[in-house]
Structure 1
Amino acid sequence: MRRRLINSTLAVVLVVIAVFGVSLVIVETRTISSSAQERVTSEAFRLASVVDSRIISDEQINAEILRDVAAVDTDRYALIEIPGRAPIEIGSRPTGDVIRDTARGEEGEKVTVEEPRTAVTQEVGRTLLIIGAVALLAIIAAVLLAVRQANRLASPLTDLAETAERLGSGDPRPRHKRYGVPELDRVADVLDGSAERIARMLTAERRLAADASHQLRTPLTALSMRLEEITVTEDLDTVKEEATIALAQVERLTDVVQRLLTNSRDPRTGSAVSFDLDEVVKQQLEEWRPAYRSAGRAIVSSGKRHLRAVGTPGAVAQVLAALIENSLMHGGGTVALRTRVTGNQTVIEVTDDGPGVPADLGARIFERTISGRNSTGIGLAVARDLAEADGGRLEMLQTKPPVFGLFLSRTPLQKRAQETEETVR
């Protein structure tokens, strides 16, 4: 592309120089020739006027006197012919091609002035040399300008090609580089926008994979424990009971997968309904009691009963599971689930008797990859996202002993919207 731009610019300049240069040479040549002819004609008339005045005054007329009076130099020749007198010659008669003109005086004299055409040729040559020098400078300037313009246009295109190649190779970092050319800047804007969208999609995919591995682990662990109970017992009633619980775990697992897929399409999509909070708490206690029993610890519930909350039961169960698992891994002693009411919200608090959250992690506990021990560090971040998807919120109310609070609305979304509209009116 650089070569094409340079060649095209140079071709345009050469055409312009050829058109205007030739025209200028023709005009200048004619001007110089006309000027030389006018000089010879003017000198002939002037010399005739001088001879006229001396004849009328009856003054002496000879070559020496006329040479001093006339402007005839060594390159110019003059012949004065006066009736009844010998011809007078001034200067040396040139040979070859000459410029000649003749003037006649009032007393019948004839003055002929000649000048060699070589003087005109030399002046035309000097003019051609100047025009050629200017044309050469114009060509050099055009080449430099073409190279600069080619670099200005080709370098951004090379950068844009590299950016597109990086996008294709999986590096979605935008460059935010602009070039001062509107068309190229537009392409750069589109590539940067595409890079940001690709980065968001890659981040969403990685988050989906991380969330899936984390959220599927808990129901799979619970399902594994139920199956282990089935394998070690010979009591048919126990087998049926454990199989029923295992089927419930499979349904929970299906709900988790469905919710993960829904959130991957639109994280703000929720399926909030009014549900009985006691059922979700009871289900979590039954699910986690064997694990706590194996660890030599206990899990209990307390607080106000028969509370209803607005949210997705499956999502609320996943949030509580994340908090309970967090207490099992990082806490100590008995884990308590307390329910209470504050204003128009139902609150579920999860606390234990452990050492609590370190001070350096307190403000960042809900950030991804933040973990106090060897864990994924995404459990609490996922739990907060699940809570916020249905209009709730998850907060750390106390660090020592640790207290996490899940706040859920008690009013359905439609009713809240109507109340807000009436308040505005």
Structure 2
Amino acid sequence: MRVAVIAVLVALILLATPLALGIQTAFFADERDELERAALAAAVHVPPFVVGGHVELPAHQRGIDVGAYDLSGRLRDGSGPGKADAITREAQKGVLVRGRGDHQLVVAVPLSTGKQVIGTVRASSGTAGVWRRIVLAWLGLAGLALVALATAVVVARRQARTLSAPLEALSAKAGAVAGGDLTARAEGSAIAEIDQVARTQNTMVEHLTRWLEHERHFTSNASHQLRTPLAGLQLGLEAAAAGPDADQRAAVTEALEQARHLQRTVDEVLRLARATPGPGVPMTARPAAEVVEGVERRWHGAFAAEGRRLDLDAEPEGEGLRIPDRTAEQILDVLLDNALRHGRGAVRITVRETGDVTAVDVSDEGSPPLDQRTLFRRGATTSPAGRGIGLTLARELAETAGGRLTLARSRPTTFTLLLPAAEPPPSHG
């Protein structure tokens, strides 16, 4: 508001100063023109001087002194100084003369008969009256300037509120975000520049929210995926410590395999955290049947301990298809863990070819309590013991590998994993 008022004030000064000078000049010019008209009117109506004769001047405006002078400089009639001044004497040369003297404006015109100058007519008025009119005009101008300045203050206050309100709202939203409310979003306004700042802030907050969610998901994904291989490793090591010497080698071998699987799990979770495969953790591929057989061997004991059967069915046309092995292992671990904890009866893994993709079905004899849309939402649990992470993570892993995970059937529960067939490795001949 201060900037707007200063700008208006400067504009008023720049406008009023030449206008005030123009008023002064115009008022003095008008007064001189009035004196000239009075002097010319008197010169026209004054008859030629007669020696010793009386001169009668016509009526003229009040406040103006009009006098007729002969060539000797003596006042013959009217009002004015008794003796002709320098301006009046200058008019005896036959020219109209304007001038100022003794706080007066003076106009003198020659009085002639034929081609001979016989005297002069002098008209004068005081400058005080002109200055009074000028001051009154200046006061009126100052009043208009004050009205304009007051109007500018009112408009500036309104404009300042228009500008400050969205900025204050933007600052409040930024403060809310700084306080941890990542749902706060800046609203639009009628000012394009502030709108641009608001859009930029909203974009920044959205990116920040996604990154924070990414970090939180990484933590939950890592804890979920590392739980199963760590439990297997612990069981293997406990069996090695408690069993006879003959069984220690097999137990240690099993524990070593679980440790390798744990390493692959860590690599895959890190790859998911990067959103795309990085150079440090390349996406490898192996035959689908080989990958699924390895997963089946690792989970066979867990299902057998629960008195449940785990079967593998690989169609002949799907055995040679290559799939991202680490991604497939992690997804199948989630599906089998979900079937072990929340499913019922026998579990079957089927590998088949579907066009240019490899389809892996995991089915059991139970039915999920949630619909497909809710089932894959993070935090949605199928039992009080669940955390609602596994299926969401499995779908994210499938999508990062260019595939898809869906609930194909609800009764019996059948999940279908579609993965793009990888190119076979180059042969070295």
> With structure 2 as the length reference, what TM-score do the two structures score?
0.76
Counterpart amino acid of 1:139?
A: L
1:403 maps to which residue?
Answer: 414
Counterpart amino acid of 2:39?
A: A
Question: Is the contact made by 1:214 and 1:379 (CA closer than 8 Å) also made in structure 2?
Answer: yes
Match among 112, 120, 128 for residue 106 of structure 1: 112
1:245 maps to which residue?
Answer: 254
| Larger proportion of helix | 1
Counterpart amino acid of 1:381?
A: T
Question: Is the contact made by 1:48 and 1:109 (CA closer than 8 Å) also made in structure 2?
Answer: no
Question: Is the contact made by 1:51 and 1:61 (CA closer than 8 Å) also made in structure 2?
Answer: no
Return closer, same or farther for 1:16/1:366 CA change in 2, 3 Å cut-off. closer
2:308 maps to which residue?
Answer: 297
List per-residue Cα deviations over 1:308-336 (Å, max 9, x = no partner).
Answer: 33223232222122112222222212222
2:93 maps to which residue?
Answer: none
Question: Is the contact made by 1:271 and 1:312 (CA closer than 8 Å) also made in structure 2?
Answer: yes
Question: Is the contact made by 2:284 and 2:326 (CA closer than 8 Å) also made in structure 1?
Answer: no
Identity of aligned residues (%): 25
Say what the alpha-carbon RMSD is for the aligned residues: 3.8
Return closer, same or farther for 1:42/1:249 CA change in 2, 3 Å cut-off. same
**Alignment coverage as a number of residue pairs:** 392
Q: Which moved more, 1:33-42 or 1:130-139?
A: 130-139
List per-residue Cα deviations over 1:262-315 (Å, max 9, x = no partner).
Answer: 22123356613133524x444434433443344443323345469233223232
1:369 maps to which residue?
Answer: 379
Distance in 1 of aligned mates of 2:186 and 2:14:
46
- Written as runs of structure 1 = structure 2, the 5 A alignment for 1:32-111 is 32-52=27-47, 70=59, 72-80=60-68, 88-89=77-78, 97-106=103-112, 108=118, 111=121
| 1:197 matched to 2:192 | no
Distance in 1 of aligned mates of 2:14 and 2:357:
88
Match among 348, 369, 382 for residue 336 of structure 1: 348
SS at match of 1:311: strand
Counterpart amino acid of 2:66?
A: A
| 1:23 matched to 2:18 | yes
Distance in 2 of aligned mates of 1:157 and 1:202:
27
Return closer, same or farther for 1:352/1:33 CA change in 2, 3 Å cut-off. same
Which structure exhibits the higher relative contact order, with contacts defined as CA atoms closer than 8 Å and separated by 6 or more residues? 1
1:287 maps to which residue?
Answer: 298
Using the TM superposition, give the Cα deviation of residue 208 of structure 1 relative to its aligned residue in structure 2, in angstroms: 0.7
Question: Is the contact made by 2:66 and 2:121 (CA closer than 8 Å) also made in structure 1?
Answer: yes
Question: Is the contact made by 2:352 and 2:358 (CA closer than 8 Å) also made in structure 1?
Answer: yes
Q: Which runs of 5+ in 1 are unaligned?
A: 416-425
Distance in 2 of aligned mates of 1:192 and 1:130:
53
Q: Which runs of 5+ in 2 are unaligned?
A: 83-101
Question: Is the contact made by 2:323 and 2:421 (CA closer than 8 Å) also made in structure 1?
Answer: no
Counterpart amino acid of 1:267?
A: T
SS at match of 1:353: coil
> With structure 1 as the length reference, what TM-score do the two structures score?
0.76
Using the TM superposition, give the Cα deviation of residue 216 of structure 1 relative to its aligned residue in structure 2, in angstroms: 1.2
- Written as runs of structure 1 = structure 2, the 5 A alignment for 1:148-227 is 158=168, 161-162=171-172, 165-166=175-176, 168-173=178-183, 174-175=185-186, 177=188, 180-182=191-193, 187-227=197-237
